Amino acid sequence: MTTFYPGPSKVYPEVADYAAEAVRSGITSLNHRSAGFMDIVRETVRLLHEKLDIPTDYHIALVSSATECWEIVAQSLTDKTTLHAYSGAFGKKWLDYTQRINPQAVGFNTLDKQSYEQGNAVYNALVHKTDGSGTICLVQNETSNGTQLTMNKLLRIRREFGGIIAVDAVSSMAGIALDWEQADVWFASVQKCFGLPAGLAVLVYSSRALERAERINDRAHYNSLLFIHENFRQFQTPYTPNGLGIYCLMRVLQQVPPIAKVDARTQARADAWYTFFENELNQTPTSESRFRLLITEPGLRSRTVIAVEGSEADIKAIKEATKEAGITLGNGYGQWKNTTFRIANFPAITDDEIEQLKAFLRNYSLTF
């Protein structure tokens, strides 16, 4: 089965060998306070800095999931107002989750005019604060509908806002180059662009974020950022971790090229996909009315998740047809559940697999 599901997505085939290697060598039985396991954590952190070009003054921790990172931001980095600007279902989920911990959290949908105008007033109020308080939470790549926050837009927010900026980069970290210094917190689960099974997440945070955590001094939770930081400073984890996942992350980082090369490949593939749907596929007599890109504004389009829109009947039919052909498309999500399919553009997916799907879509459009 060839999968283009946008998470959990395709795992690098070498991961099977890495997992077997970890079991055979006894790595999976190592005590997480032992020197051997600390060496693995140390090397994993080093490789994350090197391969993803993370600045040396940014700290790295490994936790269970991006959802846990939502919790860490809400508990350890929120002193007053939290503002969530979102463009899809996962950004909204982050807001909803934060409000359970901090009922004062507010948010707005950047794609909805009325919501945007209301939220922009809160944003402007935060920008004009001079005490550096407040936290802005953003989603760099919205998996549910294939939208993105560009680095240029993030740069503008960084210049205007003096508080903490936290970015959910679940569907883009390790797939595109991120401008790390334009935010204080970045996080991602590994089951997407890292090409690994679910159950692990990478948390990247600045010295400014650590200073905020020290001021708030949250130590009431097992995943308080201060507790996490104190452990990872010694290349230890605060609780028994996903040791197999950490080892496989280390091995995958050893095999992948630097992020600049990955980013160029991701961009070229994304351009090719958007050209395919806008031009090539629409050269057939019937396909234009059947399948079209969900996001019409090129500047908003994700580079790692392509969302394609159609009628409920057409979307259902093509998903069934691809399944019979041994190809898995991503389902729609949230309000787009029944009227879209999604295509992951993640590094572990091969060029041959992409050509296989394109060939299927060409033939399907001609014969349907």
Average pLDDT over residues 52-66: 98
Do 318 and 356 lie in one domain? The reply is: yes
Where a domain ends, among 255, 272, 307?
255
Q: What is the pLDDT of residue 57?
A: 97
User: Band of the pLDDT at 287, cuts 50, 70, 90?
Assistant: very low
Where a domain ends, among 236, 255, 274?
255
Q: Which residues does residue 3 pair with via DSSP β-bridges, in sequence order?
A: 328
Q: How many domains does the chain have?
A: 2
Do 231 and 282 lie in one domain? The reply is: no
Average pLDDT over residues 219-243: 95
Do 251 and 262 lie in one domain? The reply is: no
Coil/strand/helix, residue 94:
helix
Q: What is the pLDDT of residue 199?
A: 97
Measured CA to CA in angstroms, residue 205 lies from 125, 202, 235 at distances of: 25, 10, 16
Q: Is the pLDDT of residue 259 over 70?
A: yes
CB atoms within 10 A of CB 163: 23
The secondary structure of residue 294, as a DSSP letter, is S
β strands within the chain, DSSP E? 2-3, 59-63, 82-86, 106-109, 135-139, 141-142, 147-148, 164-168, 185-189, 201-205, 292-293, 305-309, 327-328, 330-331, 340-344
- Quote the CA–CA distance of 2 and 338 in Å, as a whole number: 22
Do 232 and 289 lie in one domain? The reply is: no
Do 236 and 267 lie in one domain? The reply is: no
Do 68 and 167 lie in one domain? The reply is: yes
Token reading at 342: 């999604």
Decide: 190 and 200 in contact? Cβ < 8 Å. yes
Query: Does a cis peptide bond (omega within 30 degrees of 0) precede residue 8?
Result: yes
- What is the four-CA torsion angle of 250, 254, 256, 260, rounded to 10 degrees? 100
What tens digit of pLDDT does each residue of 149-182 get? Answer: 999 999 999 999 999 999 999 999 999 999 999 9
Token reading at 229: 């930081």
Do 337 and 281 lie in one domain? The reply is: yes
Where a domain ends, among 223, 255, 287?
255
Do 173 and 302 lie in one domain? The reply is: no
- Quote the CA–CA distance of 30 and 192 in Å, as a whole number: 27
Per cent of the chain over pLDDT 90 is 85
For all residues of the chain together, what is the average pLDDT? 93
Higher pLDDT residue, 243 or 363? 243
- Quote the CA–CA distance of 184 and 108 in Å, as a whole number: 21
The secondary structure of residue 11, as a DSSP letter, is P
- Quote the CA–CA distance of 64 and 82 in Å, as a whole number: 23
R_g of the chain, CA atoms, integer Å:
21
The secondary structure of residue 279, as a DSSP letter, is I
Do 273 and 135 lie in one domain? The reply is: no
Q: Is the pLDDT of residue 324 over 90?
A: yes
Do 169 and 50 lie in one domain? The reply is: yes
Average pLDDT over residues 282-308: 82
The secondary structure of residue 243, as a DSSP letter, is H
Q: What is the pLDDT of residue 283?
A: 56
Q: What is the pLDDT of residue 174?
A: 98
The secondary structure of residue 317, as a DSSP letter, is H
CB atoms within 10 A of CB 321: 17
The secondary structure of residue 176, as a DSSP letter, is B
Q: What is the pLDDT of residue 284?
A: 52
Q: What is the pLDDT of residue 105?
A: 93
Q: What is the pLDDT of residue 234?
A: 96
Token reading at 70: 């939502």
Do 273 and 201 lie in one domain? The reply is: no
Token reading at 45: 């952190």
CATH at residue 359 = 3.90.1150.10
What tens digit of pLDDT does each residue of 85-95 get? Answer: 999 999 999 99
Q: What is the pTM of this model?
A: 0.95
Q: What is the pLDDT of residue 280?
A: 79
β strands within 135-270, DSSP E? 135-139, 141-142, 147-148, 164-168, 185-189, 201-205
Q: Is the pLDDT of residue 129 over 90?
A: no
Handedness of CA 37, 40, 44, 45 (dihedral sign): positive
Average pLDDT over residues 19-41: 95
CATH at residue 146 = 3.40.640.10
Do 43 and 171 lie in one domain? The reply is: yes
Parent domain of 169: 14-255
The amino acid present at 41, given as its one-letter code, is V
How many residues are given for the chain? 368
